[in-house]
Amino acid sequence: MSIGNDKPQSTQNETVSKELSVQQPTKLIGYDKHGESMYNRLQRLCHPKNFVDNYDKEKVDAANVLYTKLLNTNRDDINAVVGLVVMAEKELNTNFLDEYQFDRLKNILNPKNYMEPYDASSIALSNELYSQLMQPDLNYTKYVQIISKSEPLLQIMEEREKKQKEQEKQDKILEEKDEKIGVVVSVIILLIVIILGILGHFRIIS
């Protein structure tokens, strides 16, 4: 097993890029729930030391080559990083699918999100991608391909979330305004009660 010692890294990345044929939205594949970047995850999961305890010579060799390439890769070059992830998945049998990111994508692709208001094109796209996402043989290469095709649906959901946050902000402003009015009314009522009490006291005296 090897990671292609006989090919320069640029050639390997070009091959992977052609295999993926995508422009990945980093909002979905850049970080996991805990803020770990894909680059850092590669560092953690593909270090050669991970394959020493349950010794596997071929995997130690493959991890050594891949980890060296990782250290020479710009962490902000998402295509290069994804290329290394695909290589690691194939050579090291390492699972890079993040549960948090997977569930988020699953929610975005669920066709029920596009029934109200009815959106025929979004339903067709989400139905196709949702089906692909739920396949038992899903790997990271297919996962990234699905992500790249999901951009129109991601934009729709982001716009909805933006409108929802704006509505929640307006509702909060109105709620705070009502609370302030309630406080003012309570104070006025209290003052009226006090004044009436004072007037009543003077009437008794007189």
* Contact indicator for 3, 56 with CB cutoff of 8 Å: no
Q: What is the pLDDT of residue 65?
A: 95
Quote the domain boundaries for residue 21.
9-149
**What length is written for the chain?**
206
Mean pLDDT of the chain, nearest integer: 81
Residue 78 lies in a domain: yes
Q: What is the pLDDT of residue 127?
A: 97
Residues sharing a CB contact under 8 Å with residue 125, sequence separation 6 or more, in sequence order? 149, 150, 152, 153
Task: Give the pTM.
Answer: 0.58
Q: What is the pLDDT of residue 158?
A: 87
Residue 66 lies in a domain: yes
Positive/negative CA dihedral, 43, 76, 162, 160 = negative
Domain count, the chain: 1
Q: What is the pLDDT of residue 25?
A: 46
Q: If you search the block for the tokens 């009522």, which residue do you land on?
A: 189
Q: What is the pLDDT of residue 3?
A: 38
Residue 47 lies in a domain: yes
Residue 191 lies in a domain: no
Q: Does the pLDDT value for residue 93 go beyond 90?
A: no
Q: What is the pLDDT of residue 123?
A: 95
Query: How many angstroms separate the CA atoms of 131 and 27, rounded?
Result: 22
Residue 103 lies in a domain: yes
- Picking from 54-63, 80-89, 123-132, which range would have the lowest pLDDT averaged per residue? 80-89
* Contact indicator for 60, 48 with CB cutoff of 8 Å: yes
Q: What is the pLDDT of residue 140?
A: 81
- Picking from 30-34, 66-70, 132-136, 180-184, which range would have the lowest pLDDT averaged per residue? 30-34
Residues 16-73: pLDDT tens digits? 444 444 444 445 655 555 667 888 889 999 999 999 998 999 999 999 999 999 999 9
Residue 174 lies in a domain: no
Q: What is the pLDDT of residue 33?
A: 59
